[in-house]
Amino acid sequence: MSVKVEKVSMGEGKTTQLVRIENERLTVELVAYGAHLYRVLARDRYGIAENVVLNVTPISALATDLQYFGATVGPVAGRIKQAQIGSLSLEANENDNSLHSGSQGWSFQEWDLDWQETDDEITVIFSYIDHQSGFPGPITTQVIYHLIDEYLSITFTGESPVDTFFNPTNHGYFNLSGELKTDIRQQILEISADHILETDAELIPTGTFLPVAETAYDFTTAIPLENALNELPNGLDTAFVFDDHAGENQVTLYDEVSGRRLDVMSEAGSVIIYSASGWNRDTQVNYHPMAKELGLAIEFQELPDLPHHPEWGSIALPPDEKVAKTIHYRFGVN
């Protein structure tokens, strides 16, 4: 077990902190700017450890990364129609809508850092008080990364003295081939969801849930991503809706060549799966040019635009009530 912290440049005289935590199974790198999940070195079936997370390079590029590679997204992930919740006006940063809490959201803030270490586990704590995202506040929040054996968990906590909203996630992109040796098309995906959320041309929910059975969106049985992507010209940028809110829901990604398997679990009501199929931006990830379908984003969260659909539940954060949400990742081998 080890923890190493170093100061790194963000350009223009600014710095952030890079945290490297390590045990016998995994090596994880985190960045205090945006409370980012930056790298995960996971072993294949032959014991070779390679990075399976897409990260913007160099680190200073995080400040202008609008694709949120590994970022903590909050206080509210996803899209809000017309950037409006009742009388609350938000920044319209995608068409006329709000996406991922706008340019002053948590992805673009410097977080305070602390950590705790025992003989068999490491906890890294990023803390931030949000006065500027545009949501009512302040919102006192922490992002807590916990590493034990082959398990990495991310817990998001939020508390505010006023009525506000809380629906954060991590926006990690994964490619289990290791070091981006291949794209994701041959990797195998399974999702324990029977419905997807119908959206309009701007990816705003229409209010309708569509069954996945006998469609390209049916991942209830594990299939290669290529099977679906061949039928979906725009790829996946899709909210999969979980019917069972009583326990943890699961997404599994598997790479047959390396043997690496990733299980992602959460009690959230949906997961956004994004295949980057229409990629046309000049971005460097892992010191390679980003290309279409080079990584799969897995974003557990409550349904997007939920305040406009109260029949689906609530992302309200009542005054002085502390709320916690956790995503669990298991990096294994088959």
Q: 148-175: per-residue pLDDT in tens?
A: 999 999 999 999 999 999 999 999 999 9
% of residues, the chain, pLDDT over 90 = 96
Residue 50: how many CB atoms within 10 A of its CB?
A: 18
Angstrom distances, CA of residue 243 to CA of 197, 248, 270, 272:
12, 11, 9, 15
Look at the chain and report how many structural domains it folds into.
1
The domain that holds 167 is classified in CATH as 2.70.98.10
Decide if pLDDT at 245 tops 60.
no
Instruction: Look at strands 270-274 and 36-43 and give their pairing.
Output: unpaired
Cα 229 to its chain centre, rounded Å, is: 21
Task: Report the chain's mean pLDDT, rounded to a whole number.
Answer: 96
- Letter for the amino acid at 115? W
> Which pLDDT band, with edges at 50, 70 and 90, does 249 fall under?
confident
Cβ neighbours of residue 233 closer than 8 Å, sequence gap 6 or more:
none
The residue type of 275 is: S
Question: For residue 326, which phi and psi values (nearest 5 degrees)?
Answer: -130, 140
Give the type of residue at 244: D
The amino acid present at 311, given as its one-letter code, is E
pLDDT of 317 over the 90 cut: yes
pLDDT at 103 over 60: yes
Q: Contact, 102 vs 93, CB < 8 A?
A: yes
Confidence at residue 243, expressed as pLDDT on a 0 to 100 scale: 82
> Per-residue pLDDT averaged across 190-197, rounded?
96
Q: pLDDT exceeding 70 applies to what percent of the chain?
A: 99
Does pLDDT of 90 surpass 70?
yes
pLDDT, average across residues 282-302: 96
The CA distance from 174 to 70, in Å, is: 9
pLDDT level of residue 247 (50, 70, 90 thresholds): low
- Least confidently predicted of 25-29, 93-97, 281-285: 281-285
Measured CA to CA, the distance from residue 133 to residue 43 in angstroms comes to: 38
On the question of pLDDT at 248 being above 90, the answer is no
Mean pLDDT of the 253-282 span = 95
Overall average pLDDT of the 294-316 stretch: 97
Does residue 229 have a pLDDT over 70? Answer: yes
Among residues 58, 49, 52, the alpha carbon closest in space to that of 37 is found at 52
The range of the structural domain enclosing residue 158 comes to 2-333
Question: How many other CB atoms sit within 10 Å of the CB of residue 118?
Answer: 9
Per the DSSP assignment, residues forming a β-bridge with 254 are: 188, 261
What integer is the mean pLDDT of 180-190? Answer: 98
* pLDDT for res 213: 97
pLDDT tens for 2-52 read 999 999 999 999 999 999 999 999 999 999 999 999 999 999 999 999 999
What's the rounded mean pLDDT across residues 90-103? Answer: 97
pLDDT beyond 60 at 311: yes
Over residues 230-234, mean pLDDT: 95
**Which among 330, 200, 216 has a CA at the least distance from the CA of 273?**
216
Token pair for 236: 């996946």
Query: What span, in angstroms and rounded, lies between the C-alpha atoms of 276 and 272?
Result: 12
- On whether the CB atoms of residues 30 and 12 are closer than 8 A, the answer is no
Reading phi first (left if > 0) and then psi (alpha if -120 to 50, else beta), residue 312 is in alpha
Identify the CA nearest to 165 among candidates 321, 315, 322.
315
Q: What is the mean pLDDT of residues 201-220?
A: 97
Q: How far is the C-alpha of 273 from the C-alpha of 228, rounded, in Å?
A: 12
Rounded CA gap, 288 and 18, in Å?
A: 20
Q: Which residue has the tokens 């935590």?
A: 21
47 burial via Cβ count (<10 Å: 0-12, 13-18, 19+): exposed
